[in-house]
């Protein structure tokens, strides 16, 4: 079974098991995820920062054999620091903020073998019930584009609902 065939049929644990059994590779899963973000995100606005090259480099350098090794993953852009990647909190006030370290949770995600390849849309500071920040614009519901997604994990929810990540 190829990664493109398997990608939307399995959850994160199932995809990690396919990698462990050698039925797919982390790079195949990442490319399947990137293809979905590239084609689906323009109308949804769920992913606000792409880290494709960084993710490919991490895979090439070798991933830790954690329980989720090789599974593509998106970070919520709300307090999860990834070194040298903007963390904006969905706010124009933090549009240029680039942390100089990974947050503890991001370190643990990486140790688990997750392949972080982007950050998702969130309401400004996570304080509204819909994901419509002035910085990035509204995140759309994949089932009805006339509606926005809820907050504060609107971009994360849409990326899962639209099959961009498990």
The number of folded domains in the chain is 1
- Residues 10, 12, 13, 17, CA torsion sign: positive
Q: Which CATH number belongs to the domain containing residue 76 in this structure?
A: 3.90.1300.10
Return averaged pLDDT per consecutive 10 residues of the chain, 166 residues in all.
73 97 97 98 99 98 98 97 98 98 98 99 96 97 94 96 97
The range of the structural domain enclosing residue 78 comes to 3-161
Task: Write out pLDDT tens, residues 49-85.
Answer: 999 999 999 999 999 999 999 999 999 999 999 999 9
Label residues 60-84 b or e (16+ Cβ within 10 Å = b). Answer: eeebeebebbbbbbbbbbbebbbee
Residue 74 lies inside a defined structural domain of this protein:
yes
How many residues belong to the chain?
A: 166
Residue 45 near residue 139 (C-beta atoms within 8 A) = yes
């Amino acid at each position: 079974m190829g990664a493109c065939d398997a990608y939307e049929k399995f959850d994160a644990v199932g995809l990690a098991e396919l990698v462990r059994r050698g039925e797919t590779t982390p790079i195949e899963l990442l490319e399947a995820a990137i293809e979905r973000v590239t084609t689906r995100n323009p109308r949804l606005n769920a992913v606000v920062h792409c880290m494709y090259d960084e993710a490919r480099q991490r895979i090439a350098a070798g991933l830790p054999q954690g329980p989720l090794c090789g599974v593509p993953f998106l970070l919520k852009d709300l307090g999860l620091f990834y070194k040298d990647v903007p963390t904006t909190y969905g706010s124009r006030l933090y549009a240029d903020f680039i942390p100089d370290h990974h947050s503890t949770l991001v370190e643990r995600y990486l140790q688990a073998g997750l392949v972080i390849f982007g950050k998702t849309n969130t309401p400004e500071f996570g304080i509204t019930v819909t994901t419509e920040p002035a910085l990035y614009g509204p995140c759309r519901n994949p089932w009805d584009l006339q509606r926005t997604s809820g907050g504060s994990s609107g971009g994360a929810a849409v990326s899962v609902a639209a099959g961009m990540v498990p």
